Amino acid sequence: MNAKVWLVGAGPGDPELLTLKAVRALREADVVLIDDLVNPAVLEHCTNARVVTVGKRGGCRSTPQDFIHRLMLRYTRQGKCVVRLKGGDPCIFGRGGEEAMWLRERGVEVELVNGITAGLAGATNCAVPLTLRGVSRGVTLVTAHTQDDSSLNWRALAEGGTTLVVYMGVAKLEEICQQLLDGGMAADMPVAMIENASLPQQRECRSALWRMHEDAQAFALKSPAILVIGRVAAPGQAACLAQAVSA
């Protein structure tokens, strides 16, 4: 196979949520660069690959992005097929876009492979429909964490009325709550906080906007977790959905 980089989403954790295309890329890979939110169980699809662990987990020192870029370039110049394996989808808060651009600028062939992003998997596994006729006509994925600490326009999000799925929000619950309340969101807006979505250790905590920080503390919510904020996260909605699915 020709030298190239596959930027592959490994999904949220459950190895069965891997796409067939991701499996093909892993089979063909000479080298796999794996982030640490990826479940290593997916590596069973590799036939002959050297596995290199890169990335970080909550607050640990990360492998510098520049080093990862250069590593991918070096391997492709050696004629190798490289799979860069990322948690969820490579282009949802996963730097897939940046890496693809950097590599293409240097003449490297790049192919992106979707993965199921954590927000979608978490909501579905907790029977929260992110859109629901008559309840929510849209969904917005946001990250609470930015490199330059700039703030999101929380008022616009509160007023927008779509379901919000917040990534990297565990350390910022108090701020998120305050900003959304200030932006006019109802204090009793239902919230589902989902930790380790799709893994056997998945946990979910149901709450409401005004008390989500307190509830998360009592629950000892830890990263990785996503927050689903919106009427669709009301426990009653989940019961309706579970009924509809089993009918």
**Interaction site with ligand SAH (CB under 6 A):** 12-13, 37, 86-89, 92-94, 117-118, 122, 167-168, 194, 196-199, 223-226
What is residue 179's three-state secondary structure?
Answer: helix
Catalytic positions are 35, 56, 168
When the beta carbons of 200 and 236 are compared against ligand SAH, the nearer one is 200
Least Å from the CB of residue 208 to ligand SAH: 20
Q: How far is the CB of 224 from ligand SAH (least distance, A)?
A: 4
115: phi then psi, degrees, rounded to nearest 5: -130, 165
Is 84 or 86 the residue whose CB approaches ligand SAH more closely?
A: 86
Closest distance of CB 187 from ligand SAH, Å: 24
Burial class (CB in 10 A: 0-12, 13-18, 19+), 6: buried
Question: Residue 94 or residue 129: which is nearer to ligand SAH going by CB?
Answer: 94
Nearest CB to ligand SAH, comparing residues 30 and 68: 68
Kindly tell me the burial class for residue 67, based on how many C-beta atoms sit within 10 Å of its own C-beta (0-12, 13-18, 19 or more): exposed
Q: How far is the CB of 227 from ligand SAH (least distance, A)?
A: 8
- Nearest residue (beta carbon) to ligand SAH: 88
The DSSP line for 49-70 is -EEEE----TTSPPPPHHHHHH
How many CB atoms within 10 Å of residue 237?
20
CB of residue 125 to ligand SAH, shortest distance in Å? 9
Helices (H), 92-172: 96-105, 118-125, 154-160
Cross-sheet strand order for the sheet of 139-143: 139-143, 163-167, 225-229, 190-195, 203-208
The half-sphere exposure of 129 on its side-chain side, counting CA atoms within 13 A, is 17
Quote the tokens at residue 125: 């596994």
**Cβ-based nearer residue to ligand SAH, 179 or 198:** 198
